């Protein structure tokens, strides 16, 4: 997860990034994280510029992302997790809370918080989106983190 523009060169951002990753459903979140880290490497983001913070589950992502955003250390924050539907309405509560928590974290901190939480009906869908036949959504989330800070910088300084 990343964000905060250092302002030296408006056309180049040295991303300090942090990723908040949910431990729950780690069989899915770990490949999502690996996809994000691989994408950062492809875009020349240095390994030492990326921090990873593990949280218990998706419900906790928003709180941690907001605190990290308010630290002003990061240019973007990737929020990675997986909520998989079960037999109860718990899925709806966690998925909705995760989405609103990430949105609130970005709005309240002023740092882009990118929603990389899979919300799937079953484990097969989650596996397909964590590096399977549907690609790796963690990698896609990292692409957003690479481009969004620059866009926010341009909007703020124009």
Closest to 39 measured CA to CA, from 152, 141, 147: 141
90 is catalytic: yes
Question: Which residues lie across from 126 on neighbouring strands?
Answer: none
- Token couple for 27: 């069989």
Among the listed residues 11, 12, 90, 150, the single catalytic one is: 90
SS3 content of the chain, % helix, strand, coil (to 5): 50, 25, 25
Cα–Cα distance, 54 to 74 (Å, whole number): 16
The upper half-sphere exposure of residue 88, i.e. CA atoms within 13 Å in the direction of its Cβ, equals: 3
Contact 147, 114 (CB under 8 A): no
Positions marked catalytic: 90
């Amino acid at each position: 997860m990343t964000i905060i523009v250092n302002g030296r060169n408006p056309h180049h951002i040295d991303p300090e990034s942090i990723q908040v990753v949910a431990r729950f459903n780690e069989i899915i979140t770990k490949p999502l994280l690996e996809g994000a880290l691989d994408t950062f490497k492809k875009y020349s983001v240095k390994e030492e510029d990326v921090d990873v913070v593990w949280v218990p589950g998706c419900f906790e992502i928003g709180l941690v992302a907001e605190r990290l955003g308010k630290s002003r250390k990061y240019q973007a924050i990737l929020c990675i997790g997986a909520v998989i539907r079960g037999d109860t309405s718990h899925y709806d509560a966690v998925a909705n809370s995760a989405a609103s928590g990430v949105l609130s974290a970005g709005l309240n901190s002023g740092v882009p918080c990118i929603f990389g939480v899979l919300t799937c009906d079953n484990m097969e869908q989650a596996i397909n989106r964590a590096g399977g036949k549907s690609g790796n959504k963690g990698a896609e989330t990292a692409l957003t983190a690479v481009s969004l800070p620059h866009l926010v910088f341009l909007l703020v300084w124009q």
